[in-house]
Amino acid sequence: MSPEAGAGATASEPWGEVVADALRRIGSAADLDELQVLEVDLLGRHSAVVAARSGLGAVPAEQRREAGRALNQARAAIEEAMAARRRALEETARAARLDAERMDLTEVRPSRRRGHLHLVTQARDRLEDVFVGMGYRVADGPEAETDWYNFEALNFPAGHPARNMYDTLYLELGPPESVLLRTHTSPVQIRVMEATTPPIYAVMPGRCYRQDTPDASHLPNFHQIEGLVVDRGISFADLAGTLDAFTEAYFGAGFHSRLRPSYFPFTEPSAEFDITCVFCRGEGCRSCGRTGWLELGGCGMVHPNVFRAVGYDPEEWTGFAFGFGIDRMTAQRHGIDDLRELVTNDVRFLQQF
Ligand code: DAH
């Protein structure tokens, strides 16, 4: 394998076999590492071509030129094959790497599925539309609230037992337990009253927080919509009629509401309101505990202390308020039996709505 120039080969093809053998080995190098080793072998310091070059001096002068030319050709052929194989192997390695690093985006192929608003956002928008259609305006307030807005002004003085109904998350801001994540949208009632003079017809949707472990019927972060009416001569009948009109406008013909006595510090009298069960349409089924009704939220006549807190004269103004959970209502409307589906962001679930 180490032909002295011309030895053991024809004069025209002294390197024929060496080159052919080299090209065969280059062609079968499986990857860049193998090619690297081969390059040292075929073109490195101890290779046949380098050895032959140092041996040229021993070649008789009249043959030296020809021998040198043949050697250069042989080396060029090997180098060229080496470079070509390197390019091919690099391309293969690049393709393999791209393939391995590729992200599978097929589940959200934009040509097939367009994005849309989240189910709860759609519900909030529809609720707003229904109330705007009834002459209400939409207002909002901050999610981080002070104790005063979330409790105090709503007639929950410090230490009031009804505060225990709310598993409040406090923020480390100001004096201890003075700033919190609002546990309901009712504080926005206070903000709206402070900023306006009656009459008020407003709804206030938004996010609320409670220290709750998520399960099929609870989320620590959920949505409510609050309603507030303040005007002269507003009665409990107005409240009942409004909720019934809303129920039919939102859920459809054949859906009704009913009120049951309850307690909230900021309303007097207070009630819980139920709607015709969406599953059995009032017949009575497992979902409604055979009553034909599903609980939707709370309501009542605005307590005089709440009016006093915002500087309204309770002798002059009357009003009602209501509040209910959007997530739970949405789940009921679509027959979703686990609220956690609303927040796990599974495209297969979300795209159904
Ligand atoms: N804020 C109450 C809650 O989250 C719900 C509620 C009850 C709102 C009665 C009201 C109301 O406006 O009048 O439990």
Of residues 39 and 109, the one with the higher pLDDT is 39
The answer to whether residue 10 scores a pLDDT higher than 60 is no
Judge if 39 and 163 occupy the same domain. Answer: no
Judge if 60 and 158 occupy the same domain. Answer: no
Inter-residue contact 242 to 320 (CB < 8 Å): yes
Give Cα 31 to chain centroid, integer Å.
42
Nearest CA to ligand 1 atom 3: 184
Q: Is residue 107 part of a domain?
A: no
CATH of residue 240's domain is 3.30.930.10
| pLDDT recorded at residue 32 | 92
Q: Is residue 112 part of a domain?
A: no
Ligand 1 centroid distance, CA of 155 (Å): 12
The answer to whether residue 3 scores a pLDDT higher than 50 is no
| pLDDT recorded at residue 61 | 86
Q: Is the C-beta atom of 323 inside 6 A of ligand 1?
A: yes
Judge if 223 and 317 occupy the same domain. Answer: yes
Ligand 1 centroid distance, CA of 276 (Å): 20
Ligand 1 centroid distance, CA of 19 (Å): 90
**Nearest-atom index, ligand 1, CA of 320:** 13
The answer to whether residue 337 scores a pLDDT higher than 60 is yes
| pLDDT recorded at residue 12 | 46
Q: Is residue 231 part of a domain?
A: yes
Q: Is residue 324 part of a domain?
A: yes
| pLDDT recorded at residue 100 | 86
Judge if 90 and 182 occupy the same domain. Answer: no
| pLDDT recorded at residue 112 | 62
The answer to whether residue 334 scores a pLDDT higher than 70 is yes
pLDDT digits (tens, 9 = 90+) for 28-68: 999 999 999 999 999 998 988 888 888 888 888 888 888 88
| pLDDT recorded at residue 54 | 86
Judge if 158 and 97 occupy the same domain. Answer: no
Q: Is residue 110 part of a domain?
A: no
Judge if 186 and 73 occupy the same domain. Answer: no
- Structural domains in the chain (count): 2
Residue with tokens 């393709």: 95
Ligand 1 centroid distance, CA of 298 (Å): 5
User: If pLDDT is split at 50, 70 and 90, which confidence band does 205 have?
Assistant: very high
Alpha carbon distance 197, 319 (integer Å): 13
Q: Is the C-beta atom of 321 inside 6 A of ligand 1?
A: yes
Amino acid in position 242: T
Across 162-177, average pLDDT: 93
Ligand 1 centroid distance, CA of 214 (Å): 21
| pLDDT recorded at residue 111 | 62
Task: Tell me which of 188, 203, 266 to substitute to probe ligand 1's pocket, judged by most ligand atoms within 8 Å of the beta carbon.
Answer: 266
Ligand 1 centroid distance, CA of 260 (Å): 14
**Between vectors from CA 262 to CA 260 and to CA 264, what angle results, nearest 5°?**
140
pLDDT digits (tens, 9 = 90+) for 172-187: 999 999 999 999 999 9
The answer to whether residue 276 scores a pLDDT higher than 70 is yes
Judge if 221 and 160 occupy the same domain. Answer: yes
The answer to whether residue 125 scores a pLDDT higher than 60 is yes
| Average pLDDT taken over every residue of the chain | 91
Judge if 97 and 123 occupy the same domain. Answer: no
**Nearest-atom index, ligand 1, CA of 297:** 5
Across 149-166, average pLDDT: 93
Q: Is the C-beta atom of 184 inside 6 A of ligand 1?
A: yes
**Nearest-atom index, ligand 1, CA of 324:** 5
Judge if 97 and 126 occupy the same domain. Answer: no
Alpha carbon distance 260, 272 (integer Å): 5
| pLDDT recorded at residue 8 | 41
Judge if 89 and 152 occupy the same domain. Answer: no
The answer to whether residue 25 scores a pLDDT higher than 80 is yes
**Nearest-atom index, ligand 1, CA of 325:** 4
Task: Tell me which of 186, 190, 299, 302 to substitute to probe ligand 1's pocket, judged by most ligand atoms within 8 Å of the beta carbon.
Answer: 186
Judge if 213 and 67 occupy the same domain. Answer: no
Ligand 1 centroid distance, CA of 138 (Å): 17
* Structural domain for 27, as ranges: 3-101
Range picked from 8-12, 77-81, 184-188 for highest mean pLDDT: 184-188
Q: Is residue 109 part of a domain?
A: no
The answer to whether residue 1 scores a pLDDT higher than 70 is no
Sheet arrangement for strand 137-138: 137-138, 200-209, 221-231, 318-325, 293-302, 267-276, 257-264
Range picked from 25-34, 102-111, 133-142 for highest mean pLDDT: 133-142
Judge if 64 and 170 occupy the same domain. Answer: no
